[in-house]
Amino acid sequence: MKIQEVILRAISKQITWIQAAEIIGVRPRTMRRWRYRYEQHGYDGLFDRRLKRPSPKRVPLETVEKVLCLYRERYFDFNVAAFVEKLHEVIGMLTETPGLYSRLSARRNLEYFAGFYPIDDVSARVEKYLKLMGLWERREDKAGTFSKGMKQRLALARALIHEPKVLFLDEPTSGLDPEAAGEVRQLIRRMREGGCTIFLSTHNLGEAEMLCNRIAVIQTRLMALDTAESLRRRFFRRKVIVELQSPDPNILAVVKELPFVQDAKAEGSRLNVELMDSERYRPELVRAMVEAGGKVITVYEEQYTLEQVYLRLMNEEKSSETQAHS
């Protein structure tokens, strides 16, 4: 029996690690070292002697591996840690650089990569995704002649060619012009609506907010995981902004007396108002101001960007670390 097969049996808990050491014929100390490398670096780093301690750069990848193991019953009907090759058949990945064969045509690129998967009709599948990505008319052109946006779409087609259940995208719009980036985002939305689970890794927080149902902030560890709106509510109070025709101290006094107003401040002809429930009490706020003689020009809720949320989260993390070391 091959060493890798014995290790896989130990990982899947079919045998103990001590039993694996006896079968392979190595000392228990050696097996403990292999087990440590697996726990820290996953199967790929199990026999890599260069890996002695966990690297912060690998933490996001390890986090994803743990997520896959945690939700394996939802997406997979097998042990993802033990059957790595089978896992490749149900996941897709788009790296930051497309990594296509520039001298091959778009069609031949997809046919080549499709050959790694158990696809019944490769030609039909290639045609399907070339048309989906808007590349069918350029199918016989070499990938090296494509623009960066077209290469990115072809790489997306490659990631989808085996129709995975889970898709990993690393900076899918990096370096693209606005038009090409918009095309890629639209494709991601269509895949999401089609039922594909997508992990999007990006430094573009605006893009993450546009495309993701939930946002995870990872910096050597998982710091936050929630919807964009819930993260805003966690760090910022919701404020209603009222623009008046002219400053009026009497209107501010009336607003402060309202029972559903938590706080109110004036900045010239603009009022910043915190309500107990913005959706519920906003109409009543406007009605009270108009009845008091206020001339309201516009009313809207102040919107905080995901970048502001991220900076607030980082500041809190730094404050916590400073207190812990003081």
Name the domain boundary from 75, 108, 130.
75
pLDDT at 193 over 90: no
51 and 158 inside one domain: no
pTM to 2 decimal places: 0.64
Under 8 Å CB-to-CB from 296, ≥6 apart: which residues? 242, 243, 244, 245, 286, 289, 290
- pLDDT tens readout for residues 203-229: 888 889 899 999 988 877 778 888 988
104 and 209 inside one domain: yes
71 and 93 inside one domain: no
Position 143 scores a pLDDT of 93
Q: What are phi and psi of 94, to 5 degrees?
A: -120, 115
Alpha-carbon distance of 196 to 233, in angstroms, equals: 28
CB 34 within 8 A of CB 24: no
Which token pair is 271?
């009022």
In a domain, 115, yes or no: yes
Position 141 scores a pLDDT of 95
Mean pLDDT of the chain, nearest integer: 80
In a domain, 222, yes or no: no
109 and 70 inside one domain: no
Higher pLDDT, 57 or 163: 163
Position 52 scores a pLDDT of 42
Under 8 Å CB-to-CB from 107, ≥6 apart: which residues? 126, 130, 139, 140
In a domain, 322, yes or no: no
51 and 93 inside one domain: no
63 and 105 inside one domain: no
In a domain, 42, yes or no: yes
Domain tally, the chain: 3
In a domain, 220, yes or no: no
- pLDDT tens readout for residues 136-147: 999 999 999 998
- pLDDT tens readout for residues 61-118: 455 555 555 555 556 666 665 566 677 778 888 887 778 889 999 999 999 999 888 8
Position 46 scores a pLDDT of 58
158 and 65 inside one domain: no
* pLDDT over 70 percentage in the chain: 80
- pLDDT tens readout for residues 6-61: 777 777 777 787 777 777 777 777 777 777 766 666 655 555 544 443 344 444 44
- pLDDT tens readout for residues 287-296: 999 988 888 8
127 and 159 inside one domain: yes
Name the domain boundary from 44, 75, 106.
75
Q: What are phi and psi of 77, to 5 degrees?
A: -110, 30
In a domain, 282, yes or no: yes
102 and 183 inside one domain: yes
Name the domain boundary from 43, 75, 107.
75
Residue 251 belongs to a domain with what CATH number?
Answer: 3.30.70.100
In a domain, 313, yes or no: no
Position 3 scores a pLDDT of 64
* 324 band by pLDDT with thresholds 50, 70 and 90: low
Residue 116 belongs to a domain with what CATH number?
Answer: 3.40.50.300
- Residue range(s) defining the domain that contains residue 177: 89-213
Position 58 scores a pLDDT of 44
101 and 187 inside one domain: yes
Alpha-carbon distance of 155 to 168, in angstroms, equals: 12
Range name among 50-59, 151-160, 165-174, 206-215 with the lowest pLDDT average: 50-59
65 and 111 inside one domain: no
Alpha-carbon distance of 140 to 177, in angstroms, equals: 24
In a domain, 225, yes or no: no
Which token pair is 281?
């009490």
Residues facing 222 on adjacent strands: 218
69 and 116 inside one domain: no
